[in-house]
C-alpha cells in the first residue's frame, strides 16, 4: 500500500486527493492542514461578510469528503521540513511522517511591507482565510473608518464585503489603477466606478509612508484617519519546504508538466507552484482556484 502525503488543505489539496483516490483506491492518504477546519471555499469569505452566505455553506466539499477518499487529516499542524532521501516530513508538533509520494499544496501567505509605525496599530487585519474574516468581523462597527492597503483582488473583495457594515472604506495603492496586474486602464475604470457607486473611496498612485496609532500618512502628504486597517498588499508563495530541501524555486516551486518538482517523489500544486503558462510562453505562478484544482 502506497503512502501519500498532502501538505495543505485548499483547492489544490482537494484536487490531489481526488486524483490519487481515482487511481489508487487502496492508497493511504494523509492531509496536513494548517487550519483547524475542513476545506472551505476561500473566495466566499467576502460574501460571508457581506451576508450573502453563512458558515454552513462555506464548505468546498461535503462533510464526508475525507472519509470517502480514505484520508486521515491532521488539523492545526504545519510541516516544517522535508527529507527527500528518507522520504519523511517533520511537523511542528515534533512528529515525523513517512511517505512514498508527497504533494506540497501549501498555498501562499500575505506579504506585509515593513511600514513605519505599523507595530503601533492595534486593529490591523489580513484577508486571506476564514479566520481572518471572522477576526475582522468582530471589529466591524457601523461608524468604523476602514483603510485597506492594496487595490488588488483581495483588497477589493474585502472592501466589497464590508462596505455596508462600516462608516467609510478607503482603498489605497501605489499603482495608478485598481487590479493593475490583470486589467487595462479602461477596464479598471469600470470596476473602480462600480465600487465608488457603492461608497468605496480610492487613493491611487499613492502609498503609506507612515502609520500612527489611528492615522496613515501617505507619501503624497495626505493623511487618512482610520479605526481599522486591512493589509492586502500581496502574497508570497510558500516555497520554503521545497527550497530548504534543495529543490528548485523561483517565485513559486518550479514544476514540470506533471507537477513534479526537482526533488524525487515530491510534487507541488496550487498557489505555491510555478508551472508553464502557454498564454505567455513562460513559467509563472497562477494563483487562481480553477488552476489550483
Q: What is the pLDDT of residues 40-98, one digit of tens each?
A: 999 999 999 999 999 999 999 998 999 999 999 999 999 999 999 999 999 999 999 99
Query: Final residue of a domain: which of 209, 231, 253?
Result: 231
pLDDT number for residue 290: 58
What CATH number did the domain enclosing 116 receive? 3.50.50.60
Considering the domain architecture, whether residues 105 and 246 belong to the same structural domain is answered as: yes
pLDDT number for residue 112: 94
Cα–Cα separations (whole angstroms), residue 10 to 121, 134, 178, 193, 250: 31, 18, 27, 33, 22
3 state DSSP class of 139:
helix
Count of domains observed in the chain = 2
C-alpha cell at position 138: 468582530
Considering the domain architecture, whether residues 144 and 227 belong to the same structural domain is answered as: yes
Query: Final residue of a domain: which of 196, 215, 231?
Result: 231
Alpha carbon distance 149, 228 (integer Å): 11
What distance lies between CA 182 and its chain's CA centroid?
17
48 neighbors 163 (Cβ within 8 angstroms)? no
pLDDT number for residue 291: 62
Considering the domain architecture, whether residues 66 and 165 belong to the same structural domain is answered as: no
pLDDT number for residue 292: 54
Considering the domain architecture, whether residues 120 and 96 belong to the same structural domain is answered as: no
What distance lies between CA 80 and its chain's CA centroid?
19
Considering the domain architecture, whether residues 195 and 98 belong to the same structural domain is answered as: no
Which contacts qualify for 115-120: CB closer than 8 Å, 24 or more apart? 115/208, 115/210, 115/211, 116/209, 116/210, 116/211, 117/210, 117/211, 117/212, 118/211, 120/211, 120/212, 120/213
pLDDT number for residue 284: 74
pLDDT number for residue 282: 75
Considering the domain architecture, whether residues 126 and 157 belong to the same structural domain is answered as: yes
pLDDT number for residue 293: 52
pLDDT number for residue 181: 87
- Give the other-Cβ count within 10 Å of 60's Cβ: 19
Positions in the chain whose pLDDT score sits under 50: none
Query: Final residue of a domain: which of 192, 209, 231?
Result: 231
C-alpha cell at position 74: 491532521
pLDDT number for residue 214: 95
Q: Which structural domain range is residue 275 located in?
A: 3-109+236-292
pLDDT number for residue 277: 75
Considering the domain architecture, whether residues 128 and 51 belong to the same structural domain is answered as: no
Q: How much is the pTM?
A: 0.90
pLDDT number for residue 245: 97
Considering the domain architecture, whether residues 218 and 241 belong to the same structural domain is answered as: no
User: pLDDT for 235-252, tens place per residue?
Assistant: 999 999 999 999 999 999
Considering the domain architecture, whether residues 72 and 145 belong to the same structural domain is answered as: no
Considering the domain architecture, whether residues 63 and 13 belong to the same structural domain is answered as: yes
CA angle, residues 114, 166, 214, in degrees to nearest 5: 40
Considering the domain architecture, whether residues 126 and 208 belong to the same structural domain is answered as: yes
Considering the domain architecture, whether residues 137 and 224 belong to the same structural domain is answered as: yes
pLDDT number for residue 4: 98
CA angle, residues 203, 209, 210, in degrees to nearest 5: 115
C-alpha cell at position 146: 476602514
Alpha carbon distance 89, 115 (integer Å): 35
Alpha carbon distance 246, 239 (integer Å): 11
Amino acid at each position: 500500500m502506497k503512502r501519500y502525503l498532502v501538505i495543505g488543505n485548499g483547492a489544490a489539496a482537494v484536487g490531489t486527493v481526488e486524483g490519487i483516490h481515482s487511481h489508487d483506491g487502496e492508497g493511504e492518504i494523509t492531509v496536513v492542514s494548517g487550519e483547524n477546519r475542513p476545506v472551505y471555499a476561500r473566495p466566499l469569505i467576502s460574501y460571508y461578510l457581506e451576508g450573502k452566505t453563512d458558515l454552513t455553506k462555506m464548505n468546498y466539499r461535503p462533510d464526508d469528503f475525507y472519509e470517502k477518499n480514505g484520508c486521515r487529516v491532521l488539523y492545526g499542524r504545519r510541516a516544517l521540513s522535508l527529507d527527500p532521501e528518507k522520504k519523511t516530513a517533520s511537523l511542528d508538533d515534533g512528529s515525523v511522517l513517512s511517505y512514498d509520494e508527497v504533494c506540497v499544496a501549501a498555498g501562499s501567505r500575505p506579504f506585509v511591507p515593513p511600514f513605519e509605525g505599523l507595530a503601533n496599530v492595534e486593529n490591523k487585519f489580513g484577508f486571506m482565510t476564514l479566520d481572518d474574516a471572522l477576526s475582522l468581523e468582530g471589529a466591524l462597527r457601523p461608524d468604523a473608518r476602514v483603510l485597506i492597503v492594496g487595490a488588488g483582488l483581495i483588497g477589493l473583495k474585502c472592501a466589497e464585503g464590508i462596505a455596508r457594515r462600516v462608516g467609510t472604506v478607503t482603498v489605497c495603492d501605489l499603482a495608478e489603477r485598481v487590479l493593475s496586474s490583470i486589467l487595462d486602464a479602461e477596464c479598471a475604470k469600470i470596476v473602480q466606478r462600480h465600487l465608488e457607486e457603492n461608497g468605496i473611496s480610492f487613493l491611487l498612485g499613492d502609498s503609506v509612508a507612515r502609520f500612527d496609532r489611528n492615522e496613515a500618512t501617505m507619501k503624497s502628504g495626505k493623511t487618512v484617519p482610520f479605526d481599522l486597517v486591512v493589509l492586502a498588499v500581496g502574497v508570497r508563495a510558500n516555497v520554503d519546504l521545497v527550497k530548504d530541501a534543495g529543490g528548485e524555486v523561483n517565485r513559486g516551486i518550479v514544476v514540470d508538466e506533471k507537477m513534479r518538482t526537482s526533488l524525487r517523489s515530491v510534487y507541488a500544486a496550487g498557489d505555491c507552484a510555478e508551472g508553464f503558462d502557454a498564454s505567455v510562453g513562460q513559467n509563472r505562478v497562477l494563483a487562481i482556484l480553477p488552476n489550483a484544482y
